[in-house]
């Protein structure tokens, strides 16, 4: 990991140390934190928390949560704990492997588990080891979901953000174990295919699946490098710390 730099999130409400080069969290992590419908007093676990952006976006929006992060890479976990402390968001960050959970996690249940699993199965490998670990799948996506469901209490909720072309694998992993599945496609621009999906499911539920209208990130039809053109909905989430409500659940 290179020396860290500090970046603002949520319109400056959150200041996060990240590596200057290597894996750097962005809009996907903020969207994940906004989509988790946790309420004050509940316990939340993030699998693969990195430097903690999703977890702390959630913690900034909803005070009074019991936050836990699990991160494989010790240097990223150390930055996550530093970010929790410097942003005055109480959190417990553990270093460990999702495939071999630390004992404290195996003994605890959570109301919510969130995750932004690595997106890429193959392709060009990143020269930075931290970025490579964060971006390329070493542990199958099905095992991420299995780990999340095992840590959930009955009727607990799992919330994931992932590439849209991995939706089939997510649904297969949830089948028979979680229901009330809500899928939110996320598209960069109107008329473009969704590049991401946000999926929320309830452990043990039997309710049918819901496919929501796409969430559009940018207003203009084409990218303009010199102008930020977020839609009002994206602006509210990325800059104003607003929730992204799924299934009609009220997130605060």
Three-state secondary structure readout of 27-63: HHHHHHHHHCCCCCCCEEEEECCCCCHHHHHHHHHCC
pLDDT computed for residue 20 by the predictor: 85
User: To 5 degrees, how large is the angle CA 182–CA 184–CA 189?
Assistant: 170
Considering the domain boundaries, does residue 243 fall inside one? no
Q: Which of 41-50, 77-86, 121-130 has the lowest mean pLDDT?
A: 121-130
DSSP 3-state assignment of 120? Answer: strand
pLDDT computed for residue 120 by the predictor: 62
**pLDDT band at residue 24, thresholds of 50, 70 and 90?**
confident
Q: Is the pLDDT score of 103 beyond 50?
A: yes
Considering the domain boundaries, does residue 173 fall inside one? yes
Considering the domain boundaries, does residue 244 fall inside one? no
Average confidence (pLDDT) over 1-24: 90
**pLDDT band at residue 137, thresholds of 50, 70 and 90?**
low
**pLDDT band at residue 134, thresholds of 50, 70 and 90?**
very low
DSSP 3-state assignment of 208? Answer: coil
Q: Is the pLDDT score of 40 beyond 90?
A: yes
Considering the domain boundaries, does residue 246 fall inside one? no
Question: Average pLDDT, whole number, for the chain?
Answer: 90
Average confidence (pLDDT) over 220-234: 84
**pLDDT band at residue 224, thresholds of 50, 70 and 90?**
confident
Considering the domain boundaries, does residue 26 fall inside one? yes
End-to-end alpha carbon distance in the chain: 35
pLDDT computed for residue 130 by the predictor: 46
pLDDT computed for residue 132 by the predictor: 44
Considering the domain boundaries, does residue 248 fall inside one? no
Considering the domain boundaries, does residue 189 fall inside one? yes
Considering the domain boundaries, does residue 251 fall inside one? no
Average confidence (pLDDT) over 167-188: 97
DSSP secondary structure letter of residue 207: P
Q: What is the CATH number of the domain that holds 173?
A: 3.40.50.150
pLDDT computed for residue 226 by the predictor: 67
Q: Is the pLDDT score of 250 beyond 70?
A: no
| 152 class by beta-carbon count within 10 Å (0-12 exposed, 13-18 middle, 19+ buried) | buried
Tens digit of each residue's pLDDT (9 = 90 or more) over 196-216: 999 999 999 999 999 999 999
Number of domains, the chain:
1
pLDDT computed for residue 131 by the predictor: 43
Q: Is the pLDDT score of 183 beyond 90?
A: yes
Tens digit of each residue's pLDDT (9 = 90 or more) over 140-167: 999 999 999 999 999 999 999 999 999 9
pLDDT computed for residue 1 by the predictor: 59
What count of Cα atoms within 13 Å lies in the side-chain half-sphere of residue 231?
14
Determine the structural domain holding residue 97 and report its residue range.
Answer: 4-238
Q: Is the pLDDT score of 247 beyond 70?
A: no
User: How far is the C-alpha of 161 from the C-alpha of 65, rounded, in Å?
Assistant: 21
Q: Are 61 and 33 in contact (CB under 8 A)?
A: yes
What pTM was computed for the model?
0.89
pLDDT computed for residue 221 by the predictor: 79
């Amino acid at each position: 990991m290179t020396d860290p730099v500090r970046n603002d999130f949520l319109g400056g409400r959150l200041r996060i140390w990240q590596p200057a080069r290597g894996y750097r969290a962005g809009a996907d992590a903020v969207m994940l934190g906004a989509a988790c419908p946790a309420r004050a007093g509940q316990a939340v676990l993030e699998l693969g928390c990195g430097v903690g952006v999703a977890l702390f976006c959630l913690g900034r929006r909803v005070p009074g949560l019991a936050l836990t992060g699990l991160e494989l890479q010790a240097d990223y976990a150390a930055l996550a704990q530093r970010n929790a402390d410097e942003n005055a968001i109480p959190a417990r960050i553990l270093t460990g492997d999702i495939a071999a959970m630390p004992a404290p996690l195996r003994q605890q249940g959570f109301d919510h588990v969130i995750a932004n699993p690595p997106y890429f199965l193959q392709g060009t490998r990143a020269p930075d080891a931290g970025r490579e670990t964060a971006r390329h799948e070493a542990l199958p996506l099905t095992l991420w979901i299995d780990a999340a469901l095992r840590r959930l209490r009955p009727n607990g909720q799992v919330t994931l953000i992932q590439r849209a072309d991995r939706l089939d694998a997510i649904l297969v992993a949830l089948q028979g174990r979680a229901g009330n599945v809500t899928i939110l496609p996320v598209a960069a621009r109107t008329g473009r295919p969704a590049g991401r999906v946000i999926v929320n499911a309830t452990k043990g539920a039997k309710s049918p699946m819901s496919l929501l209208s796409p969430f559009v990130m940018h207003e203009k039809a084409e990218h303009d490098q010199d102008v930020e053109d977020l839609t009002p909905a994206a602006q509210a989430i990325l800059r104003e710390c607003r929730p992204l409500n799924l299934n009609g659940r009220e997130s605060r």
